[in-house]
Structure 1
Amino acid sequence: MELRHLRYFVTVAEELHFSRAAQRLNIGQPPLSMQIRALEDELGVPLFERSQRRVFLTPAGRAFLVRARQILADAEAARLEVQQIAGLDAGELRIAFTTSAPMTNLMKRVLTTYRQRYPRVTLTLSEAPSERQREALIERTLDIGLLRQAENAPPVAGLSFETLIDEALVVVLHQGHALAKHASVSIADLANEAFIMHPNGVGTAVDGQIRRMCERAGFTPRVVQEARESTTIVALAASGLGVAVLPAAVRCIQIEGAHFMDFSEPDAHSALLLGKRRDDNSPLVQAFVALCHEVAGTVNDEARPA
């Protein structure tokens, strides 16, 4: 039995509704239901009575709720005590991220959980291209970078990078585009299309990857419009100005006319990396890295086919 199982149980008990509880916990409803079932199996008793309309606590569930709340309260008190001892009760953590990173479930969950666990730590967040993040880490004006690495990028002395999630790339185009009727597209299908991309020199690793994909397919992308923000790029593609290739996290951008398509190429993906200095042993950084590993494991498990 893990503390997260108790938190899941208490949240469902308070909401008496699995969908609302899942929203509070920032997880999907199916994984939440599975975790509650696993907890009931471990305890050997049902904690909830379920019907099509409502969810009720069983007598065992009501008794377990009292115990679960006390265990969580004791764990929180212990956490605050050891954080104070370890130096995690104050300080500043400087984090930069690429334009698409905040749209990923990983970053949203990491930031929410970090603030909950370490409420006295100040998170200073900034958006920056991947190349600029590497420079800032070297210059020690940044503690953590959430960035994308260019293909075959040489190692940077003193820095370490590790993959958190490997995200598919998607094509964004107008819903009335001729290609929109297909189940998927290949990069070669875009040879005659107008492209919308980030400006040259911004330092986005994804744009470099797109250009290399096009070159391998035998053409150079014809860029008709540039924009710095992913949201703007999606909006321009939705207007029919051209097509764009972006990480799949942009699917959350709901703009009228936007249509998202998968690539048929299995290598059309982009890794979201965590970058830090190798010699940075700060408790704040170590706690953030550990949390990223924890959340990435959950996100990657959810992404695997059942």
Structure 2
Amino acid sequence: MELRHLRYFVAVAEELHFTRAAERLHMGQPPLSMQIRALEEELGVQLFERSQRRVRLTEAGQGFLLRARAILADTAAAAEEARRRARGELGQLRIGFTSSLPYTSTLPDLLYAYRQRYPEVELQLTESFTNEQLAALDKGTLDVGLVRYVGGPLPMGVSVREIGRDPLRLVLNAAHPLADQPALRFAELTGEPFITFPPGVGTGLPAILERLCRRAGFEPRIVQTAREATTQIGLVAAGLGLALLPAPLECVRIPRVRYLPIAEEEDAYFSLSVAVRRSGCGPAAQGFLELLDEVGVARGGNGLLL
């Protein structure tokens, strides 16, 4: 038995007329009659009572009609679901993001736009450091990563593309002698105590801090490390030292804290990049990347400007 036999049967059952059913199916009436007889022979039951005046369903035919309709409906639904999955309208999308993104409008705006366009895709969001996202992408447990990549080796199976840049800010205690300056040069910070992320957590900020300090002629004096940026800001408020953090974290308002721009430092920024698997993206991830580029164009420039 094939699906076409079910379609033939349903057409005749609904029309109760072989000629009209044949016209509906765009086929001749004799071949249709032959197909229905072949179906009855295969089933070993009579589905229709035929006479010169009318055609009607037998009791077996009535029961078979219910099943045939359900099978055809399920088949149509399965085909449509497959097409929608291929278009990225169904399925699951696993997105990683770094901890600073929720402090900007970028992540909420992007997720909102994606949810509006693809409301039936299940989103699985994971906040993690860049190196953790890259490893998850390489293992296939993440589909897209929004990472802070500052260079260096990548897993073989992962590619990264920059989509935006955040200026950096020096975070000072309000009582610091330099806290009232409009901007600061790193040369003014020789010997200052710094608070930063611990080594190996997967953020590039300690390397950027080291580079900017060395270019100003000194080595950074690290007095405290903390895994969370908000913890670092709190330690600045406590007077333990200075921190170097992305500008979006200026929205974290804690008493006794100032956020100052870096003067004449064109490369004092923190990149935002999108990371994906080199082997290719699934339909849901591809839809996310296309939307990400649309958002970037809408905001101007060549990517997301945070």
State TM-score, norm by structure 1.
0.67
Flag the structure with larger Rg.
2
The unaligned stretches of length 5 or more in structure 1 are 1-79
Q: Distance in 2 between matches of 1:83 and 1:200?
A: 47
Q: Distance in 2 between matches of 1:291 and 1:85?
A: 17
Q: Distance in 2 between matches of 1:272 and 1:303?
A: 8
Q: Distance in 1 between matches of 2:209 and 2:270?
A: 10
User: For residues 205-220 of structure 1, what are the structure 2 equivalents within 5 Å?
Assistant: 205-220=204-219
Q: Distance in 1 between matches of 2:173 and 2:188?
A: 15
CA deviation vs aligned residue, 1:53-85 (integer Å, no higher than 9, x gap): xxxxxxxxxxxxxxxxxxxxxxxxxxx999836
Other-structure match for 2:273: 273
State TM-score, norm by structure 2.
0.67
1:260 aligns with 2:259: yes
Q: Distance in 2 between matches of 1:300 and 1:241?
A: 39
1:170 aligns with 2:179: no
> Which 4+ runs in 1 deviate beyond 6 A?
80-83
Secondary structure of the residue aligned to 1:126 is: strand
User: For residues 1-306 of structure 1, what are the structure 2 equivalents within 5 Å?
Assistant: 84=84, 86-151=86-151, 153-264=152-263, 265-300=265-300
Please give the root-mean-square deviation of Cα atoms over the aligned residues, in Å: 2.4
CA deviation vs aligned residue, 1:122-157 (integer Å, no higher than 9, x gap): 111112111121111111111111111124x24543
Report the number of matched residues: 224
Secondary structure of the residue aligned to 1:246 is: strand
Deviation of 1:278 after TM superposition, in Å, equals 2.0
Contact 1:93–1:285 (CA under 8 A) maintained in structure 2: yes
Q: Distance in 2 between matches of 1:285 and 1:303?
A: 18
Q: Distance in 2 between matches of 1:182 and 1:260?
A: 10
Contact 1:106–1:299 (CA under 8 A) maintained in structure 2: no
